[in-house]
Amino acid sequence: MTRLTALLGLELPLLQAGMGAVAGPALCVEVSRAGAGGTLALYKEPPARAAHLVREVAAAARGRPFGVNVIPEVTGPDRCLEQLRAVLPELPRNAFVTVFGLPADDAARTVRAAGHPLVVQVGTAADADTALARGAVVLVLQGTEAGGHLLGRQPVESLLATVRSRHPHAVLAVAGGIATGEDLADAVARGADGAMAGTLFVPAAESAAHPEFKRRVVEAVAEDTLITSLFEIGWPHRPHRVLHNSLTAAAERAPAAFIATTQVDGRPYPVPRYSAAAPGVTTTGRIQEMAMYCGRSCSRVTAPRPAALTIARIRREYENARASRADSHTSTFPAPHRIQEK
C-alpha cells in the first residue's frame, strides 16, 4: 500500500493515462478491474456523449475505482466545466477526476463539491503549488521522458525531488519512463507514491489505438522518439513527444491538407496533416503521417496483450522489486547480538 492506493482505493499504485484516441471505455474498464487506476479520456467529447461513456464504464467496472480525464487547455475552461457537470452525476462514489494541466478554479471547486478526488497532472513546481492550492489531492508530475504533450521541461526525477522537498506530505505520482514493475518500484523508492503510465497501454488489446500505432510503439526504442511542435492543429503552443515519421524528418513543412478520416460517434471527421489527433482504430488514410505519441519507455513495452495481463506482470515485478529492496536493506545491518545465558 502507498498513499496513492489508499486514497483512490487501488490495489497497485499505478494510474493509466487518459489518452485521446487510446483510452476508451474498454481500456479503462480492464485496467480498473485488474486493480490499477483505469482512466476514461473525455478529450473533446460532447457533454452528453461523455456522460454516456461514463455510464458504460460504471456498469462494466464491477465496483472498481476508475477516473475520467479532462483537458481544459484543449476544450477551453467553459466546455471543460460542461463536461464535468455532465459526468459528475454519473460517476460512482469511488471514482476520481484527472486533469491534464491546471484546472480553472470553478472546475476544481465543482469536482471537490461532488466529493471526488481531484488528480492534477503538472510539469513544473510552480504549477504543483497552484494545483495543491486549488484542491488537488494527488499530483501527477510529468517529466520530459513522457509521451504526448509536455507540461514542463524537467526530467521526472528532478521534478519529483523538487516538488517532494517543497511539499513533503503531498501525494505524488510520476509520469514518464514507467513500463515495468521495476520502474514503478524505483519511482516509489525515490519518494513517489505511485506512477501514471501511457505508452505502456497503447498496444493493449483493449486500447482504441490504430493497429499501426500499436505496432510502431512495440517496435520502437527510446531513440525513435523526439520532442517537436509539428502536430499543432487543434492543440497549439504545446511541445509533444512522438515517434519519428516522414514529417518530423522533412526539411520543409508540407501543405496542411486532409490526409485521413476518423470516426467520432459514427460520424466521419477529416484529419489535416499536422493535426494533434492520434490515429484511432476507426481512422483511415495516411496513418503513417499522423502523430503517434510515445514516451522513452517504449524500449521496455512488450507486444500487444490484454491489459489485465500487463497489470498482473507489473504487479509481480513491483512486488518482487520491493521485496528485493527490503532484503537488501536488511542485509546491510548486522544481525542482532544474542546474549548467551549462563
> Mind listing the pLDDT tens digit for each residue in 30-62?
999 999 999 999 999 999 999 999 999 999 999
User: Residue 303 above 90 pLDDT?
Assistant: no
Tell me the residue range of the domain where 259 lies.
211-297
Domain total in the chain:
2
- 220 plus 189 within the same structural domain: no
pLDDT score at 328: 76
Assess whether 94 and 186 both reside in one domain: yes
User: Same structural domain for residues 198 and 230?
Assistant: no
pLDDT at 302: 86
Q: Note whether residue 338 is domain-resident.
A: no
pLDDT at 293: 98
Domain boundary among 172, 204, 236: 204
Q: Report the pLDDT averaged over residues 201-220.
A: 98
Residues 123, 226 within the same domain: no
Whether residues 242 and 191 fall in one domain: no
Q: Which residue has the higher pLDDT, 309 or 335?
A: 309
328 falls within a domain: no
Looking at 159, 175, 204, the residue that finishes a domain is 204
The confidence score (pLDDT) of residue 15 equals 99
What mean pLDDT is predicted for residues 247-268?
94
d(CA 240, CA 233): 12
- In 7-92, DSSP assigns E strands to 14-16, 38-41, 66-70
- Domain harbouring 115, CATH code: 3.20.20.70
Pair 114, 85: CB distance under 8 Å: no
Domain boundary among 204, 226, 245: 204
> Residue 278: inside a domain, yes or no?
yes
- Strand stretches in 73-117, DSSP E: 96-100
Q: For residues 112-140, give the mean pLDDT.
A: 98
In this prediction, residue 179 carries a pLDDT of: 98
Q: Which segment of 10-14, 149-153, 242-246, 327-331 scores lowest on mean pLDDT?
A: 327-331
Asked if residue 254 and residue 159 are part of one domain, the reply reads: no
Instruction: For the beta carbon of residue 310, count every other beta carbon within 10 angstroms.
Output: 25
Q: Confidence class of residue 329 from pLDDT cuts 50, 70 and 90?
A: low
User: Do 127 and 245 reside in the same domain of the chain?
Assistant: no
Is there a domain that residue 335 lies in? no
Residues 6 or more apart whose Cβ sits within 8 Å of residue 286: 259, 260, 273
Q: What confidence score (pLDDT) does residue 266 get?
A: 84
Query: In this structure, is residue 302 part of a structural domain?
Result: no
Across 154-173, average pLDDT = 98
Q: pTM for the full model?
A: 0.94
Question: 125 and 268 share a domain?
Answer: no
| Span 10-33, pLDDT tens digits | 999 999 999 999 999 999 999 999
pLDDT at 206: 98
Is residue 173 assigned to a domain?
A: yes
Grid cell of 252 as nine digits: 520543409
Same domain, 180 and 283: no
Looking at residue 325, its pLDDT comes to: 87
Residues 146 and 217 in one domain: no
Asked if the structure places residue 34 within a domain, the reply is yes
Residue 226: other Cβ atoms inside 10 A = 14
Verify that 154 and 257 share a domain, yes or no: no
What is the pLDDT, as a whole number, of residue 337? 30
CB within 8 Å of 213: residues ≥ 6 apart:
202, 278, 279, 287, 292
pLDDT at residue number 341: 32
Q: What is the pLDDT of residue 297?
A: 98
Give the pLDDT score at 330.
53
Average per-residue pLDDT for the chain: 95
**pLDDT at 218 exceeding the cut of 60:** yes
Mean local confidence (pLDDT), 156-182: 98
Same-domain check for residues 110 and 49: yes
Is 332 within a domain?
no
Three-state DSSP class for residue 292: coil
